[in-house]
Amino acid sequence: MPTLTRVPPLARDAILAWYAASGRRLAFRRTRDPYAILVSESMAQQTQAARAAEYWERFMARFPSVEALAAATPADVLRAWQGLGYDRRALALWRTARMVVEQMDGQIPSAVAELEKLPGIGPYTARAVAAIAFGIPVGAVDVNVRRVLGRIAGVDPAAPDAPALQRLADESVPADRAADWTHAVMDIGAMLCRPREPDCKACPARPWCRYASSSTGRSRGASARSPRQRRAPTTPFPSTNRWLRGRILDRLRAAPDGEWVPLDGSIGAHDLARVLAAASAMAADGVVELGPDVPGAGLRARLPLA
């Protein structure tokens, strides 16, 4: 079977028509402001898009421009980021804002190569911003997009050819609708083309999809299914280091700027040694600052101010 080099035009048209009728109406899709889109894409890393959209509106109200974000302290940004998790993303976004204001006259770059030079921005985020904010026809490939395009093209999901898949993604983007296409393929992946039990019957790309036409697709995805139960957002287990880091940050967020907070006892099931180890690792990541030791045992920490 020949390798597809692009999504067939009729399939592309069907996907775009489906998106116009059934795509998710997320708040950050109403803007083409490059800064606002960069914020949304930073939030959506490792976070469900619908949940990121809720936080995005509050964050944009607090920091409505790249200049406002650059003028903030890291502590301000970490407080505004509370609830999203993976707080290093917040600091990377703040560093990007500083770089854009100080070195780029406040203008988010449009070129993928220039976007990838900004802190915390990888290949997917750079292409997503370029496509959505600037209309550049480049394919943003994350796990959802990889699955959708890979299934349409008949790529073995166990051994995808990343460069070939990126070429397929790039060649499939309509020159005049890069933003809509980026959102549409993401929504197909999130809503229909799921890793397990894909809803092939409802997918607009089904007539052109090699997975749907295969025996696997016909047996697993082509039949009608009962409504899929939504899983509750995952919460880190109290035994994990991620949970502990979150609790440490919550304590520091509750303190006034510049105030040192003692970390001198256990937190949850984590003894003092693990608390101190987590705080030290967070300091190495730049998420907290460490201060004078607490007499007897422990240390003091605060949110960074610069």
Q: Say whether 290 sits in a helix, a strand or coil.
A: strand
Catalytic residue among 41, 54, 57, 289: 41
> Nearest 5°: phi and psi at 265?
-160, -175
DSSP 200: G
> Alpha-carbon distance 193 to 204, whole Å?
10
What residue ranges in the chain does DSSP mark as E strands? Answer: 261-263, 289-293, 299-302
Does the annotation mark 54 as catalytic? no
CA dihedral 259, 260, 265, 269 (to 10 degrees): 70
Residue 57, phi-psi category: left (phi > 0), alpha (psi -120 to 50), beta (remainder): alpha
* Residues assigned a catalytic role: 41
